[in-house]
């Protein structure tokens, strides 16, 4: 009898978890990337060096380098076996509704800073590598991680020396039982003001790393004003998250749930901590 009751409770919890995931309406293949039915014009690799350029509707065989400010890349398919499929070297970039494929080469789908919205990113070792200030990552579908025997897999990688980051409402998968769906650390330098909210994170070693390491990093420094709230997580090979606060700056963790059971993950902050945290918003 007790076993039947426990089984019934688990079934109810799992049904509630599934309903929550449906209600959150995470991005998928049908809501990201190039819209269905859109005809694309073939193109080779691109170096975009005109400020304010709008590039759209291309099927790009080779990488893209954005070398001028305020460039928009929209509704494009980009395939490259290079280290970066899209490399952003100038501020103000927007990459939206693109299909980005690293062809299993072990590189990065997008590398740089900017507004990255509703992209379908796959075939990479690192889906998005954030390497600058003022970045918004929203409504992306990052999945089917692929690389070489030497690859280090982070679906979203944030290795420090930056501020003002917002990651919201993405579906982020790392099917490899190694490293992370989200890596946020001070390897190259400090991080200040980051909000990670309403995402689905699945897989990796630990699913999420938020690491403030005191010694041994090339850059190092404090990891401050990090808010990680209302996300759904499926535990990686070792667990849900690895949180290190060796310089004393603890992130705000609240409302994050186990995707399978729907239960709150243990060890989180009180709701009051979320209300009092006021990180600056990333570029809208």
Helix, strand, coil percentages for the chain (3-state, nearest 5): 10, 40, 50
Q: What is the pLDDT of residues 170-222, one digit of tens each?
A: 999 999 989 999 999 999 999 999 999 999 999 999 999 999 999 999 999 99
Q: Which H helix or E strand runs over 229?
A: strand 223-229
Residue reference for tokens 């400090």: 190
CB neighbour class for 67 (10 Å; exposed up to 12, middle 13-18, buried from 19): middle
How many whole angstroms separate alpha carbon 37 and alpha carbon 249? Answer: 48
Quick one: pLDDT at residue 63? 97
Quick one: pLDDT at residue 269? 85
What are the residue boundaries of the structural domains of the chain, listed by start?
2-276
Quick one: pLDDT at residue 17? 82
Quick one: pLDDT at residue 275? 56
> For residue 266, how many other CB atoms are within 10 A of its CB?
7
Quick one: pLDDT at residue 14? 75
The yes/no answer on whether domain 2-276 falls in CATH 2.160.20 is yes
Contact 151, 128 (CB under 8 A): no
Give residue 25's region: left, alpha or beta (phi > 0; psi -120 to 50). Answer: left
> For residue 202, how many other CB atoms are within 10 A of its CB?
20
Residue segments in the chain with a per-residue pLDDT below the cut of 50: 9
Quick one: pLDDT at residue 280? 56
Contact 38, 75 (CB under 8 A): yes
């Amino acid at each position: 009898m007790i076993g039947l009751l426990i089984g019934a409770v688990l079934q109810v919890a799992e049904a509630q978890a599934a309903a929550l995931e449906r209600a959150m309406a995470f991005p998928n293949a049908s809501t990201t990337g190039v819209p269905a039915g859109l005809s694309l014009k073939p193109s080779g690799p691109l170096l975009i060096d005109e400020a304010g350029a709008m590039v759209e509707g291309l099927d790009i065989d080779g990488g893209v380098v954005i070398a001028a400010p305020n460039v928009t890349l929209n509704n494009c398919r980009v395939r490259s076996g290079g280290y970066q499929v899209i490399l952003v070297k100038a501020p103000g970039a927007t990459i939206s509704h693109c299909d980005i494929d690293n062809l299993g080469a072990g590189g990065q789908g997008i590398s740089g800073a900017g507004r990255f919205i509703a992209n379908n990113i796959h075939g990479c070792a690192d889906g998005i590598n954030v390497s600058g200030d003022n970045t918004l990552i929203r409504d992306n579908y990052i999945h089917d991680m692929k690389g070489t025997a030497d690859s280090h897999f982070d679906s979203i990688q944030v290795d420090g020396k930056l501020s003002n980051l917002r990651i919201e409402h993405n579906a982020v998968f790392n099917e490899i039982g190694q490293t992370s769906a989200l890596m946020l650390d001070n390897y190259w330098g400090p991080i200040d003001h980051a909000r990670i909210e309403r995402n689905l994170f699945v897989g990796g070693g630990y699913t999420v790393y938020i690491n403030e390491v005191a010694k041994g990093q090339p850059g190092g420094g404090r990891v401050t004003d990090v808010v990680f709230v209302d996300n759904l997580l499926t535990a990686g090979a070792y667990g849900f998250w690895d949180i290190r606060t060796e310089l004393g700056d603890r992130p705000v963790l609240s409302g994050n749930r186990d995707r399978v059971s729907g239960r709150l993950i243990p060890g989180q902050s009180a709701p009051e901590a979320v209300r009092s945290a006021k990180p600056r918003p990333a570029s809208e």
